[in-house]
Amino acid sequence: MSEQQQWNLVQPRLTQTAEEAGGRLGFGRRAAAPLALVALWWGATAAGWIDPSVLPGPGAVSGGFVRLWSEDGLLQHLGVSLGRALSGGIIGIFAGLLLGLVAGLSRLGEELYDSLIQMLRTIPFLALIPLFIVWFGIGEAPKLLLIALATCFPMYLNVYAGVRNVDRKVIEAMGSFGLTGPRLILEVVIPLAMPSILTGLRYSLGISVLVLVAAEQINTSAGLGYLLNTAQAYQQVDVILICIAIYSVLGLLADLTVRLLEKLLMPWRVGVAAR
C-alpha cells in the first residue's frame, strides 16, 4: 500500500478526532464563565461578605430546590409554565410566519396590514396586561394571548425580511423551468429564506420565556410565576433565585432547540461556521 493510500485511510480518523477535541474544548470554554460565577458566589457567601438573607449561598439554594421538588411539586409547576409558553408561542410563531410570508410575497398583503403591525409592535406588552384582564378576565386566555402577541412580531419581521431578500433572479429562473405557485414557495422561497426564519424563531422562543414571567403575574394558582409570587410574599430569596434560574435555563433550552434545527435544516451553515 502506498503512502498516499495510507494517508487517505488515516486522514478521516484524524479529522474526526480533531473535531471531537474541538467540541470538548468549545464546551469547556462555554462552561468556564458560569462555573467561575458560581465559584465567586460560593466564596463570597462562605466568607461572610454577603448577608444570607440578601443572597443565600449555593448550599441553601440547593436545599431549597430539593424542598421545592419533593414537597411543593416543582415539576408540576414547571409543566404548567412550559405549557403556557409553548401554547402561546406556537400560536404567535405560526401567525407571524403566515403574515410574514403573505406580506413578503404579495404587495397587497404588505399594503393591507404591514403598517398596522409596525404600529402594534412598538407597544410595550406589559402595558397590555390591564387591558387584556378587562377583555378576557383573569384565566388562561390573557396569558396565552400576551405570549402569542409578543412572539408574533419578531417572527413576522424576520420572515418578511427573509422572503423579500430572496434573489429575484433565482425566482425568475425557476419560473422559466415551470416551477410556479405553491411549489415555488415551498421548494425555493422558503429554503432560501430559512436563515431569517430560524432567526425569527430564535427571537420568538426567547421572548416567549420573557413574556411568560409577566403573564404569570396575572392571578396564577400554578406555575413558576405562582411560586415566584409566593416566595416574594414570604421573602424566600432562595426560591426566587431558583425560579429565576429555571427561567434562564428555559431560555437556554429554547436557543439550543433552534441551533439543533439549524444543524438539521441547514447543515452547510454549520460547516461554514466551523471554519
Domains of the chain with bracketed CATH: 79-274 (1.10.3720.10)
If one compares 123 and 7, the residue with the highest pLDDT of the two is 123
For residue 226, give every residue at least 6 positions away whose Cβ sits within 8 Å of its Cβ, in sequence order, or none: 77, 216, 220
Query: Does residue 272 register a pLDDT over 50?
Result: no
pLDDT at residue number 213: 83
pLDDT at residue number 14: 47
pLDDT at residue number 105: 85
Distances (CA, A) of 76 to 116, 132, 226: 39, 26, 12
Instruction: Please report which confidence band the pLDDT of residue 100 belongs to, taking 50, 70 and 90 as the band edges.
Output: very high
If one compares 223 and 158, the residue with the highest pLDDT of the two is 158
pLDDT at residue number 266: 76
**Predicted model pTM:** 0.78
Query: Does residue 231 register a pLDDT over 50?
Result: yes
CB pairs under 8 A, 24+ apart, for 4-10? none
* pLDDT one-digit tens code per residue, 117-135: 988 888 887 788 888 888 8
Question: With contact defined as beta carbons under 8 Å apart, do 81 and 223 qualify?
Answer: yes
pLDDT at residue number 91: 94
Report how far residue 199's alpha carbon sits from residue 258's, in angstroms, rounded to the nearest whole number: 8
Question: With contact defined as beta carbons under 8 Å apart, do 188 and 180 qualify?
Answer: no
- Give Dmax over CA atoms of the chain in angstroms: 81
Percent of the chain with pLDDT over 70: 85
Query: Does residue 81 register a pLDDT over 60?
Result: yes
pLDDT at residue number 4: 54
Instruction: Please report which confidence band the pLDDT of residue 7 belongs to, taking 50, 70 and 90 as the band edges.
Output: very low
